[in-house]
Amino acid sequence: MATTNSYSVLSKIFRQFAQERGHFESQARVLKLLFDEYSISQNAHILDAACGTGDVATTIYSGGYSGVHAIDGSSHMLSQFPVESPKYPVRQVDWLSLPSVFQEWGLFDFVYFLGHSLPHLSTNNLPLVFRSVFEGLRGGGVLAFDVRSWGAKQDGTITQPGREEGVARYLGEVYADEIEYRLFEEVSYSNSLYSLSPTSSGGHAMRETLAYHMYHWKDAMALLEDAGFAREDQKIYDFRKCEWPYLVITAKKV
């Protein structure tokens, strides 16, 4: 069985994979720094727009942020939530349907897409999402998302030293339900795509490809400006001190 971007395979092993790498703790630290930076209060209206298995949203809620809401596009990831009935609102929503979220839940003070999730969308669809979030934020509200720190050649194409075109890099293995899953990553500069592929072994034919579009952070910032976020109200952060491997971009609605 092979799937693309459904998370039907990765959802089975995501929590273990993320915990072994300190992913949830790092993301929670990044969010706390951003909340402090933008004076996000504990009763603020907060949307985790790529909540996945819900571990980070639950941590934030348990830390006193009572206005947490969460969405994800994958029913498989949501099925792995740490609690059967979370105390905060959760929905399965496609990002292109974000206006329905704001219509139901109202305007937000802080909306975030972390964990290298937003690059699932191409730059053709990002403007619609950015505009939807702009409309769904209160005045002074903040959007935050992260991207990989790809390099750019003089002609604008994406590159990264040490990563060869079409060469699979082995990341490690994770065990779930007595099945071993091996994870590989690969880049395709010709198609501007990065992929992560969990593949089961031991006779279990389960493979999934997660595709991520590769674009430079400057291109993302230009699209934010087109959506209504002024360039002077955008920032970029390097949170390697929190062991967060991605660049975090923020945009404030003024």
Over residues 19-71, the pLDDT tens digits come to 999 999 999 999 999 999 999 999 999 999 999 999 999 999 999 999 999 99
Q: What's the mean pLDDT in 232-237?
A: 98
CATH number for the 15-150+215-252 domain, one of 3.40.50.2300, 1.20.1630.10, 3.40.50.150, 2.60.120.10?
Answer: 3.40.50.150
Amino acid making up residue 238 = D
How far is residue 30's CA from residue 114's CA, in Å, rounded to a whole number? 10
Q: SS3 of 46, please?
A: strand
Domain residue spans in the chain? Answer: 15-150+215-252
| Each residue's pLDDT tens digit, 72-100 | 999 999 999 998 889 999 999 999 999 99
| Each residue's pLDDT tens digit, 93-124 | 999 999 999 999 999 999 999 999 999 999 99
Using 50, 70 and 90 to split pLDDT, how confident is the model at 4? low
Strands (DSSP E) contained in 150-218 are 151-152, 158-159, 169-176, 179-188, 193-200, 207-213
Using 50, 70 and 90 to split pLDDT, how confident is the model at 240? very high
How far is residue 119's CA from residue 168's CA, in Å, rounded to a whole number? 19
Percentage of the chain lying above the pLDDT 70 cut: 97
Closest CA to 50 of 2, 16, 3, 18: 18
Q: SS3 of 33, please?
A: helix
Q: So what's the pLDDT on residue 155?
A: 80
How far is residue 18's CA from residue 26's CA, in Å, rounded to a whole number? 10
Res 2 pLDDT > 50: no
How far is residue 100's CA from residue 79's CA, in Å, rounded to a whole number? 22
Q: So what's the pLDDT on residue 1?
A: 39
Q: So what's the pLDDT on residue 5?
A: 77
More confident residue, 102 or 206: 102
Percentage of the chain lying above the pLDDT 90 cut: 74
Res 3 pLDDT > 60: no
Res 215 pLDDT > 80: yes
Res 159 pLDDT > 70: yes
